Amino acid sequence: MHRLEEIWMTLSIGLLVIFMVVIGFQTFAMGMGPPSHKETIDPQKVSQTAPFDDPGVKKMGENEYEVVMILQSFQFTPSDIELPVGAEVTFTMASPDVSHGFQVAGTNINAMVMPGHIQKITHTFNEPGEFLVLCNEYCGIGHQMMSTTITVQ
Ligand code: CUA
């Protein structure tokens, strides 16, 4: 093999290794990887499948809540959610029909809820207030009316 070929091969493989190390470090050590909840659900049976057979706000621990939510055309169930300030809240979401969005204005919560997949997102509300919840995926004729609120107090 040519001397120059060897140099270029070593350089390109070295670059690949450096990129993989950087991406691996960001993903695993810094938690910057994409969300990877791989749980699936039969969209036809969302309302019969636990925990979605009993949607609502659940207290899970000292300062920990879970909101089990169904997003369907064109509503959030439960709606008008109330949560205490400072609680760590996990939203566990599923859709029985089409893709919906779950965006909470004034926070960095922004998730897509696709039929067939369980979506989870965790957030701590450190400030009291009324937060507008919007569907930001076009889901049909009533899409622009699909909204609710989260009241943190
Ligand atoms: Cu649901 Cu747009």
Per-residue model confidence as pLDDT tens digits over 90-105: 999 999 999 999 999 9
What pLDDT is recorded for position 28? 85
Domain ranges of the chain: 1-33, 43-152
Distance 50 CA to ligand 1 centre (A): 23
What pLDDT is recorded for position 7? 95
The tens digit of pLDDT for each residue in 2-25 reads 999 999 999 999 999 999 999 999
Question: Which strand ranges, in their side-by-side order, compose the sheet holding 81-83?
Answer: 81-83, 147-152, 129-134, 100-104, 110-113
| ipTM > 0.95 for the complex | yes
What pLDDT is recorded for position 120? 94
Q: Which residue has the higher pLDDT, 31 or 144?
A: 144
Which are the contacts of 145, defined by CB distance < 8 A and separation ≥ 6?
Answer: 74
Look at residue 29 and tell me whether its pLDDT is greater than 90. no
CATH topology of domain 43-152: Immunoglobulin-like (2.60.40)
The tens digit of pLDDT for each residue in 41-80 reads 999 999 999 999 999 999 999 999 999 999 999 999 999 9
Residue 138 CA: which ligand 1 atom is closest? 2
What pLDDT is recorded for position 1? 82
CA–CA–CA angle 51, 57, 61 (5° rounding): 90
For ligand 1, residues with CB inside 6 Å are 74, 100, 135, 137-139, 143, 146
Minimal CA–CA distance to 115: which of 101, 134, 135, 94?
A: 94
